[in-house]
Amino acid sequence: MTMQTFKEWFFTTDHKRIGIMYLVGSMAAFVVAGLMALLIRLEQSSLGPTITDNPNDYNNWLYFHGAAMVLAFLIPGLTGFFANYFLPLMIGAQDVAFPRINAFSIWLFYGAIILALLSFVIPDPPDVMWTGYPPYSITTTGNTAFYVFTVHLLGFSSVLGAVNFLVTVIYMRAPGMGWNQLNIFTWTTVAAFVLQLVFIPVLASAVTMLLFDKYLGTNFFNPEAGGDVLLYQNLFWFYSHPAVYVIFLPACGILFEIFATMCKNRVFNYKACVYGGIWGIVGISGFVWVHHLYVSGMPDWLRIGQMVTTLLISVPVGLMVMSMWGTLYRAAITFNTGMLYAISCLFLVLSGGLTGIPLALTAITVHLSETSFVHAHFHFIMAMFSAFAMFAGIYYWFPKMFGRYADGPAATLGFWLNIIGVHVTFIPLFIIGVEGMPRRYWDYQMFPQFEPYHQVALVGAFMVAGGMAVTILNWIYSAFKGKVAVENPWKSCSMEWTHAPNCPQAGNFPNPPSVQPEWSPYGYEDREGNMAATTDPGYPTGPTAKPAE
Partner 1 sequence: MRALTGKVVLALSGLMMASPAFAEGYERDPAAGWDHLWREIVIDITVIGVIFSVAAIYMVWKYRAKSDDEVGRGPKLSPAAALAWALIPASIFMADDFFLSAKGWTLWNDYRRIPDEAKEIRVTAYQWYWEFDYGDDLVSEELVVKKGEPVVLRMTSEDVLHSLYIPEFRVKEDVMPGRVTYVWFNPKRTGEFVETCTEYCGTAHAEMYTTVRVVEEAEYEQFINELKEEARAANSVKSQS
Between residue 349 and residue 408, which ones bind partner 1 under the rule CB under 8 A? 350-351, 354-355, 357-358, 360-364, 366-367, 369-371
Candidate residues 87, 89, 103, 129; the one interacting with partner 1 per rule CB under 8 A: 129
Interface region with partner 1, contact rule CB under 8 A, candidates 18-26, 198-206, 310-318, 457-465: 310-318
Return the number of the residue (112 or 317) whose C-beta is nearest partner 1. 317
Candidate residues 265, 285, 492, 541; the one interacting with partner 1 per rule CB under 8 A: 265
Segment (H or E) for 263: helix 231-263
- Residues 217-246 binding partner 1 (CB under 8 A) are 223-224, 229-230
Candidate residues 111, 438, 466, 512; the one interacting with partner 1 per rule CB under 8 A: 438
Residue 530 to residues 96, 365, 486, 544, Cα–Cα distance (Å) = 31, 54, 17, 11
Nearest by Cα to 412 from 317, 336, 320, 345: 336
Quote the CA–CA distance of 456 and 426 in Å, as a whole number.
Answer: 9
Could you tell me the smallest distance in angstroms from the CB atom of residue 97 to partner 1? 33
140 binds partner 1 (CB under 8 A): yes
486 binds partner 1 (CB under 8 A): no
- Quote the longest CA-to-CA distance of the chain: 75
Could you tell me the smallest distance in angstroms from the CB atom of residue 232 to partner 1? 10
Candidate residues 95, 127, 213, 496; the one interacting with partner 1 per rule CB under 8 A: 127
Return the number of the residue (197 or 346) whose C-beta is nearest partner 1. 346
CB atoms within 10 A of CB 11: 9
- Residues 49-88 binding partner 1 (CB under 8 A) are 55-56, 59
Candidate residues 319, 381, 401, 411; the one interacting with partner 1 per rule CB under 8 A: 319
269 binds partner 1 (CB under 8 A): yes
Residues whose CB is less than 8 angstroms from the CB of residue 417 and which lie 6 or more positions away in sequence, other chains included: 463, 464, 466, 467, 470
Quote the CA–CA distance of 501 and 230 in Å, as a whole number.
Answer: 53
Residues whose CB is less than 8 angstroms from the CB of residue 309 and which lie 6 or more positions away in sequence, other chains included: 284, 287, 288
Q: Residue 404 pairs with which residues in a beta bridge?
A: 484
Candidate residues 258, 524, 541, 545; the one interacting with partner 1 per rule CB under 8 A: 524
126 neighbors 115 (Cβ within 8 angstroms): no
206 binds partner 1 (CB under 8 A): no
Candidate residues 447, 462, 477, 539; the one interacting with partner 1 per rule CB under 8 A: 447
Segment (H or E) for 236: helix 231-263
Residue 121 to residues 32, 53, 113, 160, 402, Cα–Cα distance (Å) = 14, 19, 14, 30, 35
- Residues 21-40 binding partner 1 (CB under 8 A) are none
Nearest by Cα to 365 from 424, 310, 287: 310
Candidate residues 170, 446, 486, 548; the one interacting with partner 1 per rule CB under 8 A: 446
Return the number of the residue (28 or 350) whose C-beta is nearest partner 1. 350
331 binds partner 1 (CB under 8 A): yes
527 binds partner 1 (CB under 8 A): yes
The 289-308 site mask, x for binding partner 1 (CB under 8 A), equals ------xxx--x--xx--xx
Candidate residues 8, 10, 139, 473; the one interacting with partner 1 per rule CB under 8 A: 139
Q: Render 16-58 in DSSP notation, one character per residue.
A: HHHHHHHHHHHHHHHHHHHHHHHHHHHHHTSSS-SS-S-HHHH
549 binds partner 1 (CB under 8 A): no
Quote the CA–CA distance of 370 and 295 in Å, as a whole number.
Answer: 9
